[in-house]
Structure 1
Amino acid sequence: MPTSPRTSLGRVLDDFGPTLLDLVHGRPQPAGDIGGVVIHDPRDEAAYPSHAIVLGVAVYGLREIAGLLRDLGAHGAAALVVRGPVERDESLAEASAASGVALITLTPGASWSQLTALLRMLLTEGDVGEAGVQTLGGVPSGDLFAVANAVATLLDAPITIEDRRSRILAFSGRQDEADQARVATILARRVPDGYLRILEGRGVFGELYRSDRPVHIAPAAVDEGEAAIPRVAVAVRAGDEFLGSVWAAVREPLTPDREQAFQDAAKLVALHLLRHRAGADAQNRLRADLVSTVLEGGAGAADALDRLGLVREPTVVMALGLSGQSGDHAQVAAERERLTSALGIHLDAVQPRSALALLGDVAYAIVPVPADPAAGRERAAQIAGNFMDRAGQRARAVIGIGSVAGEPSALGRSRTSADRTLRVLLSGRTHRRVASIDDVYIDSLLLELRDLVAVHGDEPAGPVSRLTAYDARHGSHLVETLRAWLDAFGDIPAASAHVFVHPNTFRYRIRRVAEVAEVDLQDPSVRFALMLRLSLA
């Protein structure tokens, strides 16, 4: 993962600690680029970029942590993050010093996915754009965390920058000086619902939308007896567009000079938000173009893989789509983007060497897997299944898994099989939410046969058409009878029970089926042809 020159471990700790991260052992140098973020998996041989931050999601105990520190030293890692609290121990101090790897703890209550998303945002700042660091108001362009810290210095108060939905885009240091509601906001990366209801009930947001001046908010405690301090907020606009807001937790009212500085800072924040949004849009377009080139599987696939930073190893294509896409188009698009972002965070955590892009209505992921086809499909199904479990039953997403591609030129075939699988899942022919082409191969063939019939413009004819016409004229149920009989492999009691008629009545109907359709139901080839025709109907 490419990073900007200013993203060092010291910068990470300055921005995220002590609200999220706490340095236990080690002395991170202020310089030195972070090479990426890796999730430690004891069962997987990870590829460690130079100077990586390693997340020890399931690493516990002094002995296990000390052993991992020593192992990571051989890979040139910068830091190991484990779940706090961790006692300061001599063995950990020695392991950290010997390996040169800093030991950091993640605050209880903060999730690994939140930390991964924040690190990803911080490490990718400045990746898109012209060479060299551009500045706006003396702050690196688009660097929202640096902007938050600059505003915090002006106001002598902890700052958050929020979008229009009260989600945290960036925050300054010194958040531990604020109240519990602010700490909960940082941990969840959005303003808590209880606090939002209080603000809405007071009409704070209406005043914020209408005014260009800072809005003063009295202390608001979500729980009885909870300490709270006042807020000052100012809207961030670009022309008539409301981009978000900046919030300061202040114990004393702002002086007139600081209030004016806060209002002026909102204009600078607007420029950075626009630059940040433009950079994100450009980066998404670039990634989408590269992923599209890779999925074509042509001569440019290998070069596009290199530019995506993917290791040349066996990969598989996953295709994510939304089932039941009726309703408001904007809501469907927002849901698709939300699930794509969630899948990106999931892949960052479990398989960080993946690439993901939303192309049209489908999100495609290129995921490294074991070379053995069976093992590769199993690994891909496991990753996709875990994501769907976390997304929950309310998510309307389905994921089709393609074939394992041993080389870049084979990724085109993997995408094709992923698309075929996704089509079956979206057609409703199965209740699966995750499947590979092997799981739905027959259904895929039937859909393609139906397309072929439509292309040729074949008119319905033959035995099934005669039965359909007879049912329409006489109000009978011969097609239903034939389908039940074929599904039951000729078992009269089972087939008659399925359609709720007496077995003798069913036998009579089957004889009429043979007479009207003019077929011999004892002929296996005839039965196969009838089953195929009914499946295509």
Structure 2
Amino acid sequence: MLDIRALVERVGPTLLRPVVLPEPTSCVGDVVIAEPGEPVNPAGGDLVLGVAVSDVEPAVALIESCGARDAAAVLLKPPVATQQAVSAAAERAGVALVEVRPGTAWAQLVWLVRAALAGTGIEDADARGPGVSDLFRLADAVADVVDAPVTIEDAHSQVLAYSARQDLIDPARVSTIMGRRQPDDVLAKFRARGTFRQISKGSSAIFVPAQQDGTLPRLVVPIRMGGELLGSMWAVVPGEVSEERSTAFAETAPLVALHLLRWRAVADAGRRRTAEQVRLLLEGGEGWRAAANELAVPSEAHRVVAIETPASAGPAEGHRLAMWEWITRGIGRRPLVTEIGTLLYALVSDRAGPGGWPDLRAALASHDVTPRPLIAVGTAVAVADLPRSRAQAEELISLLRAGHLQQRVAVYEQNWHRVVLSRMAGAATDAGVGALGPLPVLREHDRTQGTDYLATLHAWLRHPGDPRQASRELRVHPNTFRYRMKRLTQLVDIDLDDPEIRSALLVQLLADRWAQHG
């Protein structure tokens, strides 16, 4: 049996949102529909659907009745589900209150909830799983309705299933099925025609005429549930389709939506289990070996990739996962991923080949998205030592966040020296070394007189004996650089011939610079 929290997660946020979840949450036994004007007598553990409850007073009465009979939860639609009096009643009664998203059909919700309670939401989510097999059978059934070959695709144009009939094909369809997604050039053509804009706004069938490159006409139907676009169906047709057949094609969308939600629940359950095992590997401890065995992680060197999405990108989790889905598509085996805190982590083999670090690195380097995510990669380590690679990636993320690194992808081996400088600058700042020696005098002079003596001294220390290179760094004439050096040595008593003094000054200046960006 599932408790209400697990059931809400299984059905998914597309349809359900918890408003009140008492602790501990109750296990769900069955689904009961509260019909308008009829008494409700739920048993303990029942999930009660307030099908026609749209006002606060009957909602409160329903919740109180369910609480008295130990029902597990009451499901209501907005706006009544979020009214303060209704949520307060749920808290008093110890009953979970769940909001059903607008646009969700109650019959569809009952089907999904009962499927989850029966255990059909936890099958293996790979290509052999029952959930995916159902989609292929459904594609065949839809193909019979529209009398044309059909593909069922998700919201990212990834092919989830396709019909067996192949009597009408073109190169675009062949490429789509072989690559399990519509090719970029094909997507660009449909996008230019406004097809995806129509999909995002409507719910009826869309006819796309033939194109000059030989691409045959398409009949496209958006697949929606609860206001969310889940995907679309594409039928390859010889020409204009009758209104009756077009309508019949569109009418299959709600059924396909149910199967897509079920398929997504299956995939989500598999991803959650994988994420838990990857988290164990990255955190170390006693469970890492069992986790590696369950994930079938080979005993070879692996890297940890960390990603942070800027806050302006919107909901962080969805954006990161969608981005990884896009980046890794087509490179073979996808990385094992998990989320810890605000970061998404991917575990990839260091070897060359499908799904390995070289392929993923090329995909990361070519991927361009706005706003740009922060991506950092730890060094290659044995599976037992993955927490060290994770720590390295996290430290690089901190440097990227502070602006100390500007690479598209920061790799530890290429940036270890910056890690050294960062740690050293942090320790020097904590020890208050910036207040020692002649630097406070130069710092104050720069502040009050508008001079640039600290930057001049830093350039001199970076390029000792090479005033031309130092002046190029400051973008001034060499004579100007020499004059500044002469003036600052007159302002403070400083022995630049002493190597220890030079080292101390460089530490102070580095600490200053890193602190300003930290």
TM-score in terms of structure 2 length: 0.61
Instruction: Tell me how far 1:520 sits from its aligned partner.
Output: 1.9
Indicate the residue corresponding to 1:192 in structure 2: 187
1:424 to partner: Cα distance: 3.5
**Secondary structure of 1:192 counterpart:** helix
**Structure 1: tracts of 5 or more residues without a match:** 1-126, 134-138, 371-375
CA 1:517–1:302 in structure 2 vs 1: closer, same or farther (change >3 Å)?
farther
Which residue in the other structure is 1:109 paired with? none
* Matches for 1:308-457 after TM superposition, within 5 Å: 308-311=295-298, 313-321=299-307, 325=310, 327-330=312-315, 336-345=320-329, 348-349=332-333, 355-369=336-350, 382-391=358-367, 396=372, 399-408=375-384, 410-434=385-409, 436-452=411-427, 456=430
Residues 233/420 of structure 1: CA separation in 2 closer, same or farther (3 Å cut) = closer
Contact preservation (8 Å) 1:399, 1:434: yes
1: CA distance, partners of 2:492 / 2:423: 26
Structure 1 residue 287 and structure 2 residue 278: aligned?
no
| CA distance, structure 1, for counterparts of residue 294 and residue 287 of structure 2 | 11
User: Are 2:278 and 2:337, in contact at CA under 8 Å, matched by a contact in 1?
Assistant: yes
C-alpha deviation, 1:271, in angstroms: 1.0
Query: Partner of 2:260 in structure 1?
Result: 273
SS at match of 1:348: coil
Taking the aligned partners of 1:295 and 1:220, their CA distance within structure 2 comes to 51
Q: CA 1:196–1:341 in structure 2 vs 1: closer, same or farther (change >3 Å)?
A: closer
- 1:223 is matched by which residue type in structure 2? Q
Note the 1:140-219 alignment, pairs <5 A: 140=131, 143-164=134-155, 168-179=159-170, 182-183=173-174, 185-186=176-177, 189-190=181-182, 192-198=187-193, 200=195, 205=199, 209=202, 211=204, 215=205, 217=207
Distance in structure 2 (CA, Å) of the matches to 1:170 and 1:466 = 72
Q: Shift in Å at residue 299 of structure 1?
A: 0.7
Q: 2:443, 2:454 within 8 Å by CA — same for their partners in 1?
A: yes
- Quick one: which amino acid aligns to residue 304 of structure 2? M
Cα deviation 1:357-401 (Å, max 9, x = unaligned): 35455442333447xxxxx9xx98745543334436989456533
The 1-side partners of 2:465 and 2:229 are apart by 68
Structure 2 CA distance, aligned partners of 1:161 and 1:319? 32
Partner of 2:33: none
- Aligned-residue CA RMSD in angstroms? 4.1
Post-superposition Cα deviations, 1:52-75, rounded to whole Å, max 9, x if no partner, equal: xxxxxxxxxxxxxxxxxxxxxxxx
Which whole-Å CA distance do the structure 2 matches of 1:268 and 1:474 have between them? Answer: 75
Match in the other structure for 1:79: none
- Aligned-partner residue type, residue 275 of structure 2: A
1:461 to 414, 420, 435: 435
CA separation in 2, counterparts of 1:532 and 1:192?
54
Q: What amino acid sits opposite 1:329 in the alignment?
A: G
Would you say the 8 A contact 1:288–1:359 is kept in 2?
no
Q: Aligned-pair distance for 1:527?
A: 0.9
The whole-number CA distance in structure 1 between the counterparts of 2:237 and 2:464 is 77
Unaligned regions of 5+ residues in structure 2, if any?
1-118, 513-518
Superposition deviation, residue 309 in structure 1: 1.8
Secondary structure of the residue aligned to 1:440 is: helix
Secondary structure class of the residue paired with 2:435: coil
Residues 238, 339 of structure 1: alpha-carbon distance in 2 compared, 3 angstrom cutoff: closer
Match of 1:28 in 2: none
Q: Number of residues paired by the alignment?
A: 382
How far has the Cα of 1:496 moved from its partner? Answer: 3.8
Q: Is the 8 A contact 2:456 2:474 kept in 1?
A: yes
CA distance in 2, matches of 1:492, 1:263: 75
Question: SS in structure 2 opposite 1:418?
Answer: helix
Per-residue deviation at 1:298? 0.9
Please give the alpha-carbon distance, in whole angstroms, between the structure 2 residues aligned to 1:303 and 1:411.
14
Indicate how the Cα distance of structure 1 residues 159 and 327 shifts in structure 2: closer, same or farther if over 3 A, else same: same
Deviations 1:73-109 (A, max 9, x none): xxxxxxxxxxxxxxxxxxxxxxxxxxxxxxxxxxxxx
Other structure's SS at 1:319 match: strand
CA shift for structure 1 position 274: 0.8
Q: State the shift of 1:130 in Å.
A: 3.7
Question: Contact 1:236 / 1:242 at 8 angstroms: preserved in 2?
Answer: yes
Contact 1:514-1:521 within 8 A present in 2 as well: no
Identity of aligned residues (%): 32
C-alpha deviation, 1:300, in angstroms: 0.8
Work out the CA distance in 1 between the residues paired with 2:450 and 2:392.
42
Q: Give the match for residue 455 of structure 2.
A: 480
